[in-house]
Each structure stands twice: as C-alpha cells, then as structure tokens.
Structure 1
Amino acid sequence: MPHFPPPGPLGFGGAPLGNMFERVDDVTAEAALVAAWDSGVRYFDTAPHYGSGLSEHRFGNVLRQYPREDFTLSTKVGRLLRPDAGRPDNAPFVDGLPFRVQPDYSYDATMRSIEDSYQRLGLAQIDIAFVHDLAADHLGDAWEEQFEIARTGAFRALTQLREVGALKAWGLGVNLTEPCIRALEQADPDVFLLAGRYSLLNQPAVERLFPMCGERGVHVVIGGPYNSGLLAGGRTFDYKDAPPEMIAGRDRIATICDRHGADIRSVALQFCAAHPVVAAIIPGAKRAEKVTENARLMEAVVPAAVWQELKHEQLIPADVPTPN
C-alpha cells in the first residue's frame, strides 16, 4: 500500500509548547501556532510526553479553528499519563500538567494512548502516530527488550488502526537509527520521525536507514535540524553541552557560510530538506517571531558555492543531496 507522507517541507514541532526548558504562557503558545499556520505550515507534530499533555492541549485549542482536512497532525504513543497532583518531574519540561508519565509500549496501552490523545486534542482525527523514544535514555540497555514489546504491542495496534482508517500512517519517533532499521526489517511502518541524526553536523542516517527507506517508499520527518541549538547559535548538542569537536565543526561550517553571505540556519534547514526520503522538517519554536523566521530561512537563497565548499572540506558527505 502507498505510504502517507506528511506535507512539507516545513512543519511545526510541538516539544517547545510543552514548556521545554522554560515556561511558555498560553497566549505566546497560541501565537506561535497561528504564526506557523499563517506561514503556510500544514504539518503539526506533538506528543503526550511534551509537558504531560500540555502541548496536545495547546495544539487542539488552536487547530480546531481550521478545517480539519487542511492540515496533517501527528502525535505519539508509548507514554501513558497518570493523574498525579504532586506534579512529578518530567524533565526537560517544566510546569506541565499534573500527570505522571508512564512508559508502556503494549497493545492495550497504545489503544488507550490514542483515545487519551483524542480527548486532549479535542479532535476526532489523528493522521500519524509515532512510537515515542523506543531507544531513549530511560530505557538504557533494555531498549531491545522494549522493542519486542512494541513489535507485538504498539506496532500491531497501530497497524490495525491504519487498516481500519483510524490512522493514515504510523512509525517511530526516535533519536537513533537502529530501531528504525529494525522496524523496517520486522514490520510495515510508513514514516519515521528522526531527531538529530541527519543534520549538517551529523548524518548517520545516510549509511543504512535512508537507503532502506528509499527502497520501501518510507518517508522521514527530521526533528532537531539545528541539533538542539548548536547550529542556531547555541551551545547544546543533543540537549546537552556540545562536545568540543561538534563546536569546532559548527564553527568551520559557519565560516564557510559567512564567506558566501549565507545564514547557517538556512543552510541547516535546507540541507535536511534536500534528501529525497525527507518529507518534512520540524524545527521547534516557542514564539511567533521564531516561527516566522524559520519560514523565511527555509526560503532564503543559499549560494551553490556553499554546498560545494562544504563537500570539498569534507564537512558533509560528497554524495549527499543538496538543494539545486
């Protein structure tokens, strides 16, 4: 069956609106989502984990203003929310809703998660469901065991929901390529949300995952195109202090961009979007002005000499696709 691609090239990632690292008030969050819509964005991604349901609530409150057939919405499964008046820690999110996050990749939990997301969003249609963080730090060395639970549980549930038309597509939302490769080998996913593994600084996805996706007609959404901030002027990589070699790589790329009058952020976004298996990129943003800026950066002209020099200096692989 044909796989359902989310519309791109620019989407909206919902982690920041779950109060990632800092509190965002409702007015600011709504303005960011409206700015995304006004900028032409029609793909929106969220998750129960983001602020213990806060991001989903905010997405639903805004997206209900628009015709449902005019946008694509993805959320995630694998984290159930349990009421907890003590507002337990859910780092890196702050001041989220009063729910405790419980990882669970079983069949029943997946069905429950989808139903809960309908309620939080206030919408009757979820287009794409990603199995969330099936190789994250909270799993440690146990991710392969959890993958097997997901294979017989979440994968089976989401496949059934796709077959009856309740979902248009399902896949994994992860920051490692290995679970995606295994999912392609053992199941029938449609799309992956891959964070931080295809960027100007880091491209392990081109080795095996992207060729496999190309052969199967499976699409990829790129999260973290700025590598959690390092490519946008920050000092973090993978949400931690950036290692010296990554800072040095960023500085070399920035020097080339400056020499040709290109904004490194434009180069970062457009690099991710240029690969043929990539359907959309979803940089996160907390504020309307940053959303509008991302849209402008996506459209900015990057001189061909930038791509040529990045390849010549072996800062990106010589054979990766780059914009025309």
Structure 2
Amino acid sequence: MMTRRNLLQAGAALGVGSVVRSTASAQALKFQMSSGDVMKTKGLVDIAEKLPINETSGDKRYRPKFRMGLGGLAAGNGFNTVSNDEEILGMLNKAWDSGIRYFDTAPFYGLSLSERRYGDLLRNKKREDYVLSSKVGRILTPSSEPLEKKWHWANPSPFHYKYDYTAAGTRRSVEDSLHRIGVSSLDIVFIHDLSPQNSDMGEDWTKYFDQAVKGAMPELTKMREEGMIKAWGFGINTPHAIYKAVDVADPDICLLALQYSILDHQQALEKTFPLLDERDISVVVGAPLNGGFLAGRDRFNYSSKIPQPMRKKFTAIDSIAKKHGIDIKTAALQFAEAPSTVAAIVPGARTAQQVEENIASMKVQIPADFWRELKAANLIAEEAPTGTES
C-alpha cells in the first residue's frame, strides 16, 4: 500500500508554497484565472517529504510504483491553449527533477503532439526509471486538411483519426505510439474513450465496445502475456465500459477521468470502486482537479459551462480550507490520491510552475479537522478516505 505522510512538527522545513498565503483564493473564487496562472499552495510544505508510492510486493496485479503522475492532455495543447515545444519541455523537465516518474499520454492528445513532446524528455531517460502509459482506439493518419471537429486542441498535428478497436488496430496503435515517443515499450495501455459521453459515438459506443471485446481486449491480454506490456485497462470519462468489461475480460488497471474528485465521487465510492476491488483492479484518477476548475480555471471538466451546484460546493470547501490554512487544490489532490483502490493520480500541467505547485500540494500536512468539518457539512461523503484514518 501507499506510504503515509509524515506528521509535520512546528519546526518543519519550509519550501516552495510553504508560506501560508492568502492572495490566491480570492482570485480563484472569481473563476478568472487564465491558463498560465497558478493557484499557490497554502500550508506547511515539508520539502523532505517524498512523493507517495505503492508498496507492490504483495499485489496480485500490476500497479505503478509511483502514485503521483503527470497527465498529458495539456502537452497536446489541450483546452485550446497554445503552448510551444520549449514551454512543454520545461514543464516536463521540472516534473522529472521534482520526482515525477509516471507519465500518461495518448495519441488523441493534440493528434500525436503530446506523445511527441513526451518523447523529447523520455527518450533520453533510462527506460526502467519511469512508468509510461498511453492509449489505443484511434488510428492517426496524416492529412493536409484540418479536422472539421476541433475538439480541445489548439494547433494540433496535421492528422485525422479513425476509431479502431480491432486486434490489428490495437497492435498498430501501440507500435505507432512507441515510434512517436521514441521508446521501446509501454507499461500500461488504456483502451480510450469507450463511453456514451464520447460525442463521436453516443449510443453507438456499444458497437465499438463489441469490437473491442473481440479485438483490443484479447490482444492486450496477449501482449501482457508476451511481456510487451505490464498491464491494460480502460481510459474513460464514464464507467459504463468497465461495468460491462469485468464479466468478459481481465483488465488490470483503469484510468477514470472526471469520476473521482473532491466535488464528485459518490458513484465511484458506492459502485465503481467496490466492483474493481472484488477483482483487484486498481484505478488511476484522471482530472482530479475537474479539468482545472479546482485550480481556479473558468471551466468544469471539459466545458466552459460550470454547474451552479459545483460553484457553490467549490466556495464552501474553499472557505473551510482557508480556515484551516490550506487551499482547495491541495485538498483536492490529496483527496483523489487517498483511496486504497487508487494506484495513482495524473493531474495535468502546462507550465513548470503548475507542476511545482501540484507537487508542493502533495507535501502539505492537511489537518484532520479539515476533513471532519467537510464531512459534517456533507461536502464530502462520510465514507470517503482522506488519508487521516490510520
């Protein structure tokens, strides 16, 4: 299981974000932070505290050693934010230098842009020193014509895509990713975006699921048995595919985006996590900050339409966080990482400063009274793990 954070003493060493700041919260509450702004970490940061890891010796299934990772959507110019190669490489180097050793990406992120930028860092590192996951389900092909549907990408690479969950398409997708990144292997492969929430598919997602049952799922199982990958699962924004797949396949680990955060976690706790626990399947939490909302962005998940109940919940949690000398982003990251079902979290970042503050947030000791107050106010589920139970 995970290592537990050390209790801070009054004379604990202070580092980046360690001064109790009060300037960022007001700006965050106005939801006006731009893509380059950073919500400063509040609270005492123990710079000697290491990032959390999984003790994997007794696990039946593969779990990545590192519980704090980096999501690759922003590296693909996600949310229509333009970044240059130098900025992203600076961010990636900051992540590496700060101890991040789990990197998640996908062919779809910027239509190969994220994978290629990840390769600028990872191809120069020893392969055994880090964990790498990418995804299958879309085959990219070069094109001189831009995509009609822009999705979330600003200035993506000149590719089109088609869905392909066959065995041959799955193996080709993995090989294409290896070439783009410039590495010899992937540790984890996620079957990407099999969900009714995917507007390309809608209700037709079950047809693609059936294709994956005959193609991608047995092919990834074969690749795991051959030693080409260590684990496979699903990378999805809704749990529908997992609920269907556990009876017909043998996944190891699933990336759940938009499904477990301090704002929205009831279904995961009541249904998804217990179902996975029965089968020793672990979870990587994607978008633990709800697409940047919990870091002060004017968007919720992947939309500029922010539900009013989420605004109200943000304000209530933020107020209690300030009372206890911390910030809501710090609470959100540690909340997402706390459950035993969770093997890792992969918050995204575009700048080195964002990485720096996210890592600082993982080294803050959050008072147990903060979590008790959230539960008393029904702002988080009573049964939600917080890392303070033991």
Deviation at 1:94, TM superposition (A): 1.4
Deviation at 1:121, TM superposition (A): 1.0
Superposition map of 1:127-206 within 5 A: 127-135=187-195, 136-203=198-265, 204-206=267-269
Change (3 A) 1:59 1:95: same
Q: Which residue of 2 aligns with 1:31?
A: 90
Equivalent in 297, 301, 323 of residue 234 of structure 1: 297
Larger radius of gyration: 2
> Are residues 1:251 and 2:315 paired?
yes
Instruction: State the alpha-carbon separation in 1 of the partners of residues 74 and 288 from structure 2.
Output: 14
Equivalent in 166, 181, 185 of residue 125 of structure 1: 185
Structure 1 residue identity aligned to 2:68: L
Q: Is the deviation greater in 97-106 or in 160-169?
A: 97-106
> Are residues 1:47 and 2:106 paired?
yes
Q: Which residue of 2 aligns with 1:265?
A: 329
Deviation at 1:9, TM superposition (A): 2.1
Runs of 4+ in 1 over 6 A off after TM superposition: none
Q: Can you list the C-alpha shifts for 1:240-261, whole angstroms capped at 9, x where unaligned?
A: 1211111111111111111111
Provide the identity percentage: 43
Equivalent in 13, 17, 22 of residue 71 of structure 2: 13
Deviation at 1:137, TM superposition (A): 2.1
Instruction: State the alpha-carbon separation in 2 of the partners of residues 225 and 248 from structure 1.
Output: 18
Q: Which residue of 2 aligns with 1:207?
A: 270
Instruction: State the alpha-carbon separation in 2 of the partners of residues 90 and 183 from structure 1.
Output: 30
Structure 1 unaligned blocks of 5 or more: none
Instruction: State the alpha-carbon separation in 1 of the partners of residues 202 and 187 from structure 2.
Output: 30
Structure 2 residue identity aligned to 1:41: I
Instruction: State the alpha-carbon separation in 1 of the partners of residues 184 and 222 from structure 2.
Output: 17
Deviation at 1:2, TM superposition (A): 2.7
Contact 1:147 1:179 in 2 (8 A): yes
Equivalent in 305, 312, 317 of residue 369 of structure 2: 305
Q: Can you list the C-alpha shifts for 1:45-64, whole angstroms capped at 9, x where unaligned?
A: 00000111111111112111
Instruction: State the alpha-carbon separation in 2 of the partners of residues 272 and 130 from structure 1.
Output: 20
Structure 2 residue identity aligned to 1:35: K
> Are residues 1:78 and 2:78 paired?
no
Deviation at 1:284, TM superposition (A): 0.5
TM-score (norm 2): 0.81
Structure 2 residue identity aligned to 1:185: D
Q: Is the deviation greater in 308-317 or in 206-215?
A: 206-215
Structure 2 residue identity aligned to 1:93: W
Q: Can you list the C-alpha shifts for 1:139-187, whole angstroms capped at 9, x where unaligned?
A: 1011122211111111111111101000100000001112112222221
Instruction: State the alpha-carbon separation in 2 of the partners of residues 185 and 210 from structure 1.
Output: 15
Q: Can you list the C-alpha shifts for 1:165-210, whole angstroms capped at 9, x where unaligned?
A: 0010000000111211222222100000001111011112112110
Contact 1:262 1:303 in 2 (8 A): no
SS of equivalent residue, structure 2 residue 292? helix
Q: Which has the higher helix share?
A: 1
Instruction: State the alpha-carbon separation in 2 of the partners of residues 104 and 310 from structure 1.
Output: 44
Contact 1:51 1:90 in 2 (8 A): no
Deviation at 1:276, TM superposition (A): 0.2
Instruction: State the alpha-carbon separation in 2 of the partners of residues 125 and 238 from structure 1.
Output: 30
Structure 2 unaligned blocks of 5 or more: 1-58
> Are residues 1:288 and 2:348 paired?
no
Matched residues, number: 324
SS of equivalent residue, structure 1 residue 111? helix
Instruction: State the alpha-carbon separation in 2 of the partners of residues 28 and 7 from structure 1.
Output: 28
SS of equivalent residue, structure 1 residue 37? helix
Deviation at 1:127, TM superposition (A): 0.7
Higher RCO (C-alpha under 8 Å, 6+ residues apart): 2
Instruction: State the alpha-carbon separation in 1 of the partners of residues 317 and 264 from structure 2.
Output: 12
> Are residues 1:113 and 2:183 paired?
no
